Amino acid sequence: MLVLEDITQKNRSARIADWYEKVFPKVGAYIKRQGGSLEEAKELFQEALVIYFEKISGGNFQPDKSDDAYLFGMVKHLWFKHLQTQQQWDDLDPTDTREELTAELRVEKLVLLLKQSGQRCLELLQSFYYERLSMQKVSERFGYKSERSATVQKYKCLEKLRAEVKDKSLNYEDFLD
């Protein structure tokens, strides 16, 4: 069973490659049987891996199955969701404003804009909030002298990006174009 300490110590790419070799053939066969394509199998497996990493980095996740079984089960779940989404798009009223989709697009656009102006802060913040590394690991990765320095820098970055998120959200009329 994979735990957070393993994933932070071992090479993440090597772990991903292992899962592809072990689980993807089974995923491919399942998606093929369901009438899906190789591209769909790839996309769903990518998404399943992302979700799995997010779960294990949360720290509270205790899967009752092996990694392989969990990933395969996740792909099956995502396949059903994928079919439902396709059906919703087919039934979509073109006048529907789709607030959820707009919010997603806004966040994606903000990422694009902030990559240009605040890449280092994005890197630092994602290592703490997304990868959920400890402050000690964050300070090692970014070369700070102490956890305290890294913590102060984290809040400075948050302050900087919060100002940019506000500025870019309010000042770009063509924000979602």
* Binding interface with another protein (CB under 8 A): 12-13, 16-17, 20-21, 24-25, 28-29, 32, 37-38, 42, 46, 49-50, 53-54, 107-108, 110-111, 114-115, 122, 125-126, 129-131, 152, 155-156, 158-159, 161-162, 165-166, 169
| Residue 93, SS3 per DSSP | coil
Closest CA to 175 of 107, 116, 106, 115: 106
Which of 53, 63 has the CB closer to another protein?
A: 53
Nearest approach in angstroms of CB 141 to another protein is 14
Question: Helix, strand, coil proportions of the chain in percent (round to 5)?
Answer: 75, 0, 25
Report helix angle 38-57 to 67-91, nearest 10: 120
Which of 140, 159 has the CB closer to another protein?
A: 159
Provide the residue type at 31 as one letter: I
Which of 29, 83 has the CB closer to another protein?
A: 29
Nearest approach in angstroms of CB 74 to another protein is 14
- Please, are residues 70 and 78 in contact by the beta-carbon 8 Å criterion? no
Nearest approach in angstroms of CB 88 to another protein is 22
- Please, are residues 56 and 86 in contact by the beta-carbon 8 Å criterion? no
Nearest approach in angstroms of CB 97 to another protein is 19
